[in-house]
Amino acid sequence: MNLQQADLQMQRSIIPAAKPSGHGGRKLPAGIVLGLMAAYFATVSAPRARSAQNSPIPPSRINPAAQALLNQAIQALGGNAFLSARTLSSTGRVFSIADGVTQGFVQYRSAMEFPDKRRLSYGLGGKKGVTLINRGDQGWEIDRYGMIEQSQKQIERWKLANRYSLENLLRRVIHEPGTLIQKGGQDFVDNLPALIVDVIDAHQVDVKLYLNSQTYLPMRIAYRLLNPQSHEWDEYADVYVDYRSIQGIQTPMHLIRYLNGERVAETFRFQVKYGETFPPGFFQPGA
């Protein structure tokens, strides 16, 4: 997540920031960089589900003006080509950022089968790295030491980041029962005027979709979640820029993730392909 955004969730703890060089940050040893990236990829907290005592889920409510904006966004992305794309493969590089300084980078290869399957490998050059496999409620991690199952917490983190990705938000989330969608006015994203669509989803998560006011391409997806440890709100945002037409689909090649207003990672896609057919068992360990 792709790297989508959020598409990448891993399981190690953050390490102290390295001092920057004249290029904005120095290249770190492979083990340190992998730890940095793993820390970034595991920064999401899962939303709380409705309790059994809650009233039945109400029907969806969509403001006509907001629906018109969503229709324009989907058409700008490629219309039926965007909606019908079942797989997304990409390669590139992702950078970890702390205190405004680039801490390190890793190369990655990602394969997604929507809505909830991914195989992500990341590492430095020819060095053996880490592979994460997720399939719905299941998840595995494979490295040079072998394979382990992802914890339930790690799986929930992946599911959350995947849920609010550009593809799943516009294909699935906005159509779920109990969703409230309204037009949210205007704002600026990176000094460009944006139209806002406000979404309160079936999990009662407040999501804001920012669309370029001229092209209607998505510029930012922002949402907030209550941190179960600090009991404070964590603000997440994924910014999508550098769109290119690939197989009839407008595809963001540069993704930026923010946490509580701080930039924490950037993903640069070098190659993207839609419609790739994966071999049987590709999203299972041992493939």
pLDDT tens digits along 147-175? 999 998 889 888 988 999 999 999 999 99
* Residue 5 DSSP code: B
pLDDT tens profile 73-89: 999 999 999 999 999 99
> 93: which DSSP letter?
E
Are the C-beta atoms of residues 92 and 104 closer than 8 Å to each other?
no
Is residue 176 within 8 Å of 182, Cβ to Cβ? no
Highest mean pLDDT among 20-24, 41-45, 113-117: 113-117
- Mean pLDDT (whole number) for 250-272: 94
What pLDDT shows up at residue 11? Answer: 33
How sure is the predictor about 258, in pLDDT bands with cuts at 50, 70 and 90? very high
Q: Pull the structure tokens for residue 67.
A: 């629906």
Kindly list the structural domains of the chain, giving each domain's residue range(s) and its CATH number in brackets, ordered by start: 30-44+59-274 (2.50.20.10)
Please tell me the distance from the alpha carbon of residue 62 to that of residue 222, in angstroms, as a whole number.
19
Q: What is the DSSP letter of 127?
A: S
Cis peptide before 115 (omega within 30 of 0): yes
Q: How far apart are CA 173 and CA 181, in angstroms?
A: 11
CB atoms within 10 A of CB 4: 26
Reading the block at residue 92, the tokens are 């590139």
Q: Model's pTM, two decimal places?
A: 0.80
Residues 48 and 231 sit within 8 Å (Cβ to Cβ) = no
Average pLDDT on 197-203 reads 95
